[in-house]
A = this chain, B = another copy of it.
Amino acid sequence: MIVHPKIPEKGVSAEELEKILRKIGDERYHVHHPFHKLMNAGDLTKAQLQAWALNRYCYQFIIPQKDAVILSRSEDPEFRREWRKRIIDHDGGEGDEGGIARWLKLAEGLEVDAELVKSRKQALAATRFAVQAYLDLVSQSSLLVAVASSLTEMFSGAAISVRVPAMLKRYEYITEDTLAYFIPRLHQAPRDAEFALAYVKEHAQTPALQQQVVDALVEKCDILWVMLDALYHAYVEPGHIPPGAFRPDLN
C-alpha cells in the first residue's frame, strides 16, 4: 500500500526531504502506470498512441502558461531569469521551434491530424480537468508549492531515456524525427529539476512547509496519473470511449 508521506512534527533535514520526494516519484510517477508500461513494451496500437499524443498535447499546451503564472508570482529577477528558460524551451525562439511544435510533430508522425490536436476538442474531459487542476495548483497556492509541483521533472529524464529507445525499437513506424520532442528534454528536465529541488530544499524551512511540498508533488503525480487512467480506460479497455472524445477509427 502506497502511503502519503507525513512530515514528523519536528520536521526533516533538507536531505531527508529530498529522499521523501524521490520515494514519491518511485511510487507515484506516471512512468509506473500500466499505460506507460504498455507503451515501452511495444504493446500499444497506433490508435492508442494517437490518443495519447492528442491528449498529452493539452498538457504540453498549458506548460508555458503554468510557468508564466510562476514567473508572475516571483519577486526575484534571478529566479525569473532561471524559470523563464522553461517558457523559451516550450514556445521556442530563433532557430528553435520549441517543445509544443515538436509535440505536434510527434502527433503528425503518428498520423493524427495536427489541426485536430491543436483544437483540443476531442481530448478526454478527464484530461481537461487534470490540466486545469495543474493550473489551479500553481495559481492558487504559494510560490513554494507551485515550484514543488514541477518536481516530477526529477524523474522524467530517466523515464525518457528508457522510453525513446524502447519506442524506436518496438514501433516500426516511429522514427527519431517523430520523437524529437524528447531529445532536448533529456538535458532540460534535469537542469530544471535541479534548480527547483534546490529552491524547495532552501525554502521549505518549517515542518508545515515541508508537508506542503510533499503534498504538492503527490498532487502533481495524481494529475499525471489521472490522465493515463483516463487514456487506459477509454482506449485500452474496449468500448469505453466517452461521448464526444477522439475516435481513432473515425479519424
Contacts and interface: CB of A to CB of B under 8 A. Distances in A.
Interface of A: 1-2, 4, 27-28, 34, 124-126, 128-130, 132-133, 136, 218-219, 221-223, 225-226, 229-230, 232-234, 237, 239-240, 242-244, 247, 250
A142 to B, nearest CB: 18
Contacts of A229: 126, 230, 233-234, 240, 242
Contacts of A232: 233, 240
A243 B225 contact: yes
A36 B43 CA distance: 31
Contacts of A234: 229
Contact of A27 (B1, B125, B243, B247): B243
Contacts of A34: 239-240
Contacts of A27: 243
Q: Is the interface of A mostly helix, strand, loop or mixed?
A: helix
Nearest to A130: B129
Nearest to A34: B240
Nearest to A242: B225
Contacts of A126: 126, 129-130, 226, 229-230
B244 A4 contact: yes
A1 B247 contact: yes
